[in-house]
Amino acid sequence: MNVQENISLKQYNTFGIDAAAKYFATFESIAELEEVLNSKLQTPNSKLILGGGSNILLTKDFDGIVLKNEIKGIEVVNEDEDHIYIKVGAGENWHQFVMHCVQHNYAGVENLSLIPGNVGASPMQNIGAYGVEIKDVFYELEAFHKQEKFIEKFSLTDCDFGYRESVFKNKYKDQFVIANVTYRLNKRPFFNTSYGAINQELERMGVKELSIQAISQAVINIRTSKLPDPKEVGNAGSFFKNPIISNEQYLELKKAFPNIVAFPSGNDHTKLAAGWLIEQCGWKGYRKGDAGCYPKQALVLVNYGSAPGKEIFDLSEEIIQSVKKTFRVDLEREVNIIF
């Protein structure tokens, strides 16, 4: 265990925010994590568990200890006629795990290709894209309770997954460190091409016979065409969630804004495209200093170079206020704000 002091976190967050951590350590096992937690460095209420740093916004220097999870390992732990069960260390890179599955013909995560970050964060907000969410392939996970120092298993129902939600963002917020996740993948693929853009891309690619490899490549192509690469422009993907409102409120909005982009969400609710709402308020392509709203996708806020996290946060606040004023809809941040 090597604890560093006063280091810049710029390379550890995809927004590229140059905030400092008072202490910084990595851990490759729960035993190593316990060692750090038991050391004299621990400062109450100021521990940040870090994966790939692709869903956080640091608003200032972090006056505590940042603990980067580097627990590794990909292991087939069980198999039945239809499924393969793979246990993956929280510190494994998500996209590399997806590529491992695609190469071995384990189906289920191909639609989630190219999502940045690590395996350990995938259940935190039930990552999702192109018609699939982690809950569709999740089997169980093991997590360590930081305060009480025990390891607990969580099943699918224990995690209480919802749209960009889980028990770890709510009831157990900041309590557990996810050590590993077991996914249940399919030996026989169920192709999910329900998201319109996938079919269009498969057609453009000239794909005659569907495969998980082709779907993965189609998703990679779509994502590269509209989302900024954090290596070039700092960002954390969608900054806000797509708001879910009652069908009643939606019908009122539709009268006033006939072009509003929306999708059914269960029987009684409608999900609005937040990108559309933000674009209509005139923010798409906006830039003030190095903080901006991405010109190709209004839901993504960006750091063009050296924006302080506070400026990105302030921009997000202005966007929330203007969407509220124009549409009377509340936007909720998807990115975890570190104050």
Catalytic residue among 184, 238, 311, 316: 238
As a whole number of angstroms, the distance between CA 191 and CA 123 comes to 22
Do 327 and 47 contact (CB within 8 A), yes or no?
A: no
Residue 299 binds to ligand EPU (criterion: CB under 6 A): yes
In Å, what is the CA distance from 101 to each residue of 41, 81, 147, 271?
Answer: 39, 17, 35, 31
DSSP labels for 179-210? EEEEEEEESS------SHHHHHHHHHHT--S-
Catalytic residue among 54, 113, 142, 164: 164
Catalytic residue among 92, 110, 142, 334: 334
Site string for ligand EPU, 232-261 (x = CB under 6 A): -----xx--xx------------------x
Q: Which residues contact 256 (CB under 8 A, 6 or more apart)?
A: none
Residue 117 binds to ligand EPU (criterion: CB under 6 A): no
Q: Report the nearest approach of ligand EPU to the CB of residue 132 (Å).
A: 9
Q: Report the nearest approach of ligand FAD to the CB of residue 116 (Å).
A: 4
Note if 204 is an active site residue.
no
Do 149 and 34 contact (CB within 8 A), yes or no?
A: yes
Contact region with ligand EPU (CB under 6 A), list: 20-28, 34-42, 83-91, 273-281: 273-281
Q: Which residue in 290, 296, 281 sits closest to 308, CA to CA? A: 290
Residue 320 binds to ligand EPU (criterion: CB under 6 A): no
Note if 184 is an active site residue.
no
Q: Which is nearer to ligand EPU, 68 or 284 (CB)?
A: 284
Q: Report the nearest approach of ligand FAD to the CB of residue 66 (Å).
A: 9
The one among 130, 176, 283, 286 contacting ligand EPU by CB under 6 A: 130
As a whole number of angstroms, the distance between CA 44 and CA 214 comes to 48
Note if 238 is an active site residue.
yes
